[in-house]
Amino acid sequence: MKELQEMGTKIASLPTDSKFHPQIVKIFQARLKSIQEGKNIDWGTGEALAFATLINEGYHVRLSGQDVERGTFSHRHAHVFYQDRDGCYAPINAVANNGSDGVRNFIASNSHLSEYSVLGFEYGYAITNPNTLCMWEAQFGDFANGAQIIMDQFIGSGEQKWNVKNGLVQLLPHGYDGNGPEHSSCRIERYLQLTDASDVPDNRSEAEIEL
């Protein structure tokens, strides 16, 4: 608990010598209070703590997708932009020994609207860098649908085809969220069809199985 509070204090504190948007300052003040009191920790704070603990143990964390820096529902704020100069501050990197190995420990990168290519890149990145928690976030259904070929041909079947494991994590949208007929639907049934589970009941007869 002490270690979590120490890391939480670092990632929930903004530099005092820089100017940030007042709303962002309030959000981080609330995060710091929740860390200090150990209660009312919201989703964004919990996620940041999870990333920070991995980085503190020597791993790297990488996140890409549409608007992942701010977060789909303004919950993440992984990069906080300065109001008095160019650039941004990455609070989670406050727990990292940035630069010692020439690699940034945490990166959140807003990607362009070409999900097929972005997810394909992240799939290859995750294979090459197994010590990195590599994540791709699809905000809405049409984003996930745009990358479906990569899911079908690589993520869902890559290990069986090439005997190559991959630790890529996909943060997927809900089913229907009321944002229109296409923007809402991520075709949940397709992910279920891609799974290969041995506990699926076989309703065929013995004769059919022999055939």
In the chain, alpha helices (H)? 2-11, 22-37, 43-56, 115-128, 141-146, 148-150, 158-162, 188-194, 206-210
Cβ atoms 11, 52 nearer than 8 A: yes
Token pair recorded at residue 31: 């995060």
Structure token pair of residue 50? 């999870």
In this structure, the strands spanning 60-65 and 106-110 are parallel
Helix and strand numbers, DSSP H then E, in the chain: 9, 6
pLDDT, tens only, 42-99: 989 999 999 999 998 889 999 999 889 988 778 899 999 999 999 999 999 888 765 4
Summary mean pLDDT of the chain: 85
Strand order across the 106-110 sheet: 106-110, 60-65, 132-137, 169-171
- Categorize the per-residue pLDDT at 177 as very low, low, confident or very high, splitting at 50, 70 and 90: low
H or E, element range at 90? none
pTM score, whole prediction:
0.81
Supply the pLDDT for residue 179. 66
Across residues 127-156, what is the average pLDDT?
A: 88
- Alpha carbon distance 167, 56 (integer Å): 19
Q: Which CATH architecture has domain 44-197?
A: 3-Layer(aba) Sandwich (3.40)
- Domain edges within the chain: 44-197
| pLDDT tens, position by position, 184-205 | 677 777 777 777 666 556 667 7
Measured in whole angstroms, how far is the alpha carbon of residue 107 from the centre of its chain?
Answer: 10
pLDDT surpassing 60 at residue 131: yes
